[in-house]
Structure 1
Amino acid sequence: MSKDSQIGIQNRHIASLIGIDLWVDKRAKICHTKPYIDRINQCFQVQPDAILDESMNTDTVWHDKLDVSDKKAVSVINATTKSEPIDELSPSETKIRYQLQGLRYGTWVLIVDKLQMTPEEKSLWLSLQDALKRTATSSGMGFLLHEAHYPFTKDDNQSYDVALAKSGFGGFFVPFLIGSFAKQKPSVVFLSNMGEFMYDLGIIDTIHAQIDKVVTLPTLSTMLKNPSTKKAFWQTVVG
């Protein structure tokens, strides 16, 4: 069996872990195998050793620093889900809290705010992390997982410091732009709700000059409600 066929079969297996059991890499010969997962309630199960440590704070996990893909981003249009609107307050009265986790895979950066996520969304996010990590390992694609939170300390006064929150978000994004990733600006996808204050106070705007574009893909919430959208997400990010 050729190396390309082996990679194709491995990618098919990885995709099946997140409920995409009909997809194969376009380079691989078609192999007729039984679906790995048949039920929706099995789509998000991964082995215990594949679950990434939920206790991570600001640790950065580096994998092989290999060339990123030159493939252009394809936008899959799907309505994003926004948080419930907050009361209209001035910046000095708005409480700012976030616990961001980001994943760079090739030319993509996927971002979630764990404070805005349901347990089911967190479970699916872990499954996606594991599947993308496996694919990156088998294909030689660059992979990075990074996390940061705000406020930086337990000092509640920081919760109202917009400038500091912007600086924290900008610092969170830096690892996705350096080293082997510096060759190409990433496309960014927000897969969870982001607090309204992130937009209202211009915190997210701090990275616009450093990225290619923000792309709308099925969110974690959308994928949970409509599992078929996982295939569209996977084909767009992985190809």
Structure 2
Amino acid sequence: MAEKLGDIGLWESQEALSWGNSTGEKSDMALADSTVCGFLEEVARTSPTVPAGGCVVGLAGALASSLGRFVAALSAKKAEGHGKAERYHAMGVRLELLQKRCLALMDQDLEACERLFQARLSIARAGAGGDRQVLQEAAKALMEPPLSLARLGLELLRITMELVHQGAPVARADAGVAAEMANACARGGLWIARANLGILKKGLGSSHAETLDHLEVELEALYGRVSQEMGK
């Protein structure tokens, strides 16, 4: 979730600190366990601590992984030549791990956002005596999920690009869709991470900005190759 919680008073209610039901009671259910419709409704809710951009980015990565697994499995069945089936099986195993990681990062993003909200709420209530270090720790935690998702999206894009180029021709369009989801994961992660830079201390923010610049250059190069391949 991008950091946009400047007006603490707008959200200062018990209901705003929970997700998962309409009673104001906090749900312990992982986002990955919610229904599709349930997740969509949670994203649409107006609260600082319900799933938003970061969780949607994580879902995009999980979708890229899942669809990539389908293409890899189909390609393995149709593979001809020494070692090709094994290669696709290995890709499927890796994609399954990436899918689980993306789903876990959805919950991590939600938790990090609530942690930042609570830190800001505490400072707002305490005034000048509030613990600013707690806020900085929460800000650093908020950077981790989108940055991790950007990196995962890049790896997913590399794998799906190979599936576009060498996978079963009958599933080429599916591989292209998986690549687009991977791009959404990587690019969305970069956008959200950049949006959160402003709450970090200057030195740490500059370091993260440089990392994001490098990742973006890599993303543009990879995505350009995928777009060119799919345009043939």
TM-score (norm 1): 0.28
Q: Which has the higher helix share?
A: 2
TM-score (norm 2): 0.28
